[in-house]
Amino acid sequence: MYKQSGEQLLQEKYNTQKRAAAFYQNQMLSSLNEMMQEFITGQEMMFISTSDSKGRCDSSFRAGEKGFVRIINDRTVMYPEYRGNGVMASMGNIMENPQVGLMFIDFFESQIGLHVNGTAYICENKELDTLRLSKELKEDIEAKEGKKAERWIVIEVEEAFIHCSKHVPSLQKKHVDQSTTKAKGDFFKVKQTKQEIAVKHK
């Protein structure tokens, strides 16, 4: 488990060393205990943060059926990459810089979050056998993912720790029929904005 030097400098500056030490001691693990594993497999969404080799950051959202993030063992998790916009921002960053941060939040029941930090790599479907997955996990993937998963991201866990429920809103689920829902790819009218800018600069 590592502590960034920036953290330590600010802990000294703002006199929070005792609180930080208690958090490191009592709330952080370098692997996933059983409760953390159960929490992850109970989630339908997560946030992922990545950065490229120059430290330029990106954050993104991933979602799927409950349990779409699979537990390989207490130090390894994996999630599927489905068809998206083709930009490959998160995976592109992972190729340059494997350090990632995952954030799971239960907005619907406990309002608790779980941070999982570690290193990631891309695993193609044809390479899944190299992961030595259990028979049960293989069957689960075959039954639930089919051809939906274009590839997988595997994360080797370095840190896992709680995000407390303070300020986390309690939300209610709304069923959305994805088969009849139109994509809102131009919600912010970027194409129109670019056209307007182009006209102004003529």
Is the pLDDT reported for residue 15 higher than 80?
A: yes
Superfamily of structural domain 31-200: Electron Transport, Fmn-binding Protein; Chain A (2.30.110.10)
CA-based nearest residue to 65, from 128, 123, 5, 144: 144
CA distance 184 to 189: 10
How much is the average pLDDT of 180-188? Answer: 80
Amino acid 150: pLDDT: 97
Sign of CA dihedral 130, 131, 137, 142: negative
2 pLDDT higher than 60: no
Strands (E), the chain: 28-29, 45-51, 57-63, 70-73, 76-81, 99-105, 113-124, 151-163
pLDDT at 64: 95
